[in-house]
Amino acid sequence: MGPSPDSVPPSSGAGRSRALQDLIALLDLEPLGDGLFRGLSPKDRWQRVFGGQVLGQALIAAARTVEGRGCHSLHAYFLNPGDPRMPILYRVENSRDGGSFSARRVTASQDKRTIFTMSASFQKAEQGPEHQTEMPDVPDPGALKTETEWRSEFAEKLPLEIRDWLEHDRPVEVRPVLPANRFAPGKHPPLQILWLRAAGSLPGIPALHQCVLAYASDMTLLDTALMPHGYTLFTPHLQLASLDHAMWFHRPFRADEWLLYVQESPVAADARGFNRGTIYARGGALVASVVQEGLIRGRS
């Protein structure tokens, strides 16, 4: 996997947003020995830990126990809400080391309560037949409004607490293609397309780029299942939570270069919304795929 994030020199943060530097620090887990790592959460989080953060930290923990192989898939379950005030302990179990593949199981816990589990598979680089679906024909990110510009267009129409959240500095920059404003009232087709990239340069560590993309993949995916119903993340009396998250990495990529994230929700039923996404490099290569199911339940 190459050097781990703890080998990144402190001076390498030039050109990064403060939020991205904070994210890299969150992914720099403290090794406790015997496959055990400790991670922290941002001090300004809401009542529970963001699922993308746990995904990224769990993946970096697993990657630190594998040499010479990159992650090609992960399958995770969110079992209990995480408390951002408490450290998270990640225990990595070595399930298998074969000739080409290595498998790891990660369990995340707080105060002896399991909050998350993940299985991840790693593979040495190999050659084989290739094909892919084509990237949609969309405007280039340079032709779209910046995140600051599209936020400013509707931020004043939102409640203060939502506006504060929206205007907060983030480690990943987003430029929506469709729809331009997922917070607009009304019902919309269950389709989101957006460009995203880390808010600054990242070290050339493939595992770190995968972890940043895993983090970003959870930022908007559940929203897609809300759009046909006129809901948003801030709809009152609505209980939302990621239940599981699976991801496949098909090709190498850089998370600090523009990636196109195409998200759709083919079905919602039984208080669960099913979502899937495909992620393309700017040149058209399909680099990752994502599937997630989330809880969508009205609070009584």
List, for residues 151-184, the tens digit of each pLDDT value: 777 667 666 666 666 667 889 999 999 876 766 6
Is 133 domain-assigned?
Answer: no
Write down the mean pLDDT value for the chain: 90
What's the pLDDT tens digit per position in 232-288? 777 888 999 999 999 999 999 999 999 999 999 999 999 999 999 999 999 999 999
β strands within the chain, DSSP E: 30-33, 36-39, 70-78, 88-97, 101-110, 113-123, 172-178, 191-198, 238-249, 259-269, 272-281, 286-298
Q: Does residue 12 carry a pLDDT above 60?
A: no
For residue 14, is pLDDT > 70? no
Residue 185: which of 222, 164, 216, 159 has the closest Cα?
159
Q: 174 lies in a domain?
A: yes
The per-residue pLDDT for range 249-263, each reduced to its tens digit, is: 999 999 999 999 999
- pLDDT at position 180 is 67
Q: What pLDDT was estimated at residue 5? A: 41
pTM: 0.91
**15 is in which domain, residue-wise?**
5-126+140-298
- The predicted pLDDT at position 216 comes to 97
- Tens of pLDDT, residue by residue over 38-84, are 999 987 656 689 999 999 999 999 999 999 999 999 999 999 999 99
Catalytic residue flag (residue 218): yes
In a domain, residue 132? The reply is no
pLDDT tens track for 184-223: 668 999 999 999 999 999 999 999 999 999 999 999 999 9
pLDDT tens by residue, 125-149: 999 999 999 999 999 999 998 877 8
For the question of residue 242 being annotated catalytic, the response is: yes
Domain count, the chain: 1
The reply to whether 261 falls in a domain is yes
Residue 290: the pLDDT is 98
φ, ψ of residue 203 in degrees (nearest 5): -60, 155
Read off φ and ψ for residue 94, nearest 5 degrees.
-85, 105
* Residues 6 or more apart whose Cβ sits within 8 Å of residue 105: 92, 93, 95, 117, 118, 119, 120
In sequence order, the 6+-apart residues with CB closer than 8 A to the CB of 198 are: 16, 20, 171, 172, 173, 212, 216, 255, 256
Q: Is residue 135 part of a domain?
A: no
Give pLDDT, residue 45. 55
Interior CA angle at 245 toward 240 and 251, to 5°? Answer: 140
User: The domain spanning residue 99 has which CATH number?
Assistant: 2.40.160.210
Q: What is the pLDDT of residue 132?
A: 98
The yes-or-no verdict on residue 4 having pLDDT over 60 is no
Catalytic residue among 218, 223, 256, 263: 218
Query: In the chain, what percentage of residues exceed pLDDT 70?
Result: 87
Residue among 41, 57, 192, 242 flagged as catalytic: 242
In a domain, 109, yes or no: yes
Please indicate, yes or no, if residue 112 is contained in any of the structural domains.
Answer: yes
Annotated catalytic, 12?
no
| pLDDT at position 299 over 50 | yes
220 occurs within a structural domain:
yes
Query: Closest Cα partner for 269 from 237, 294, 232, 243?
Result: 294
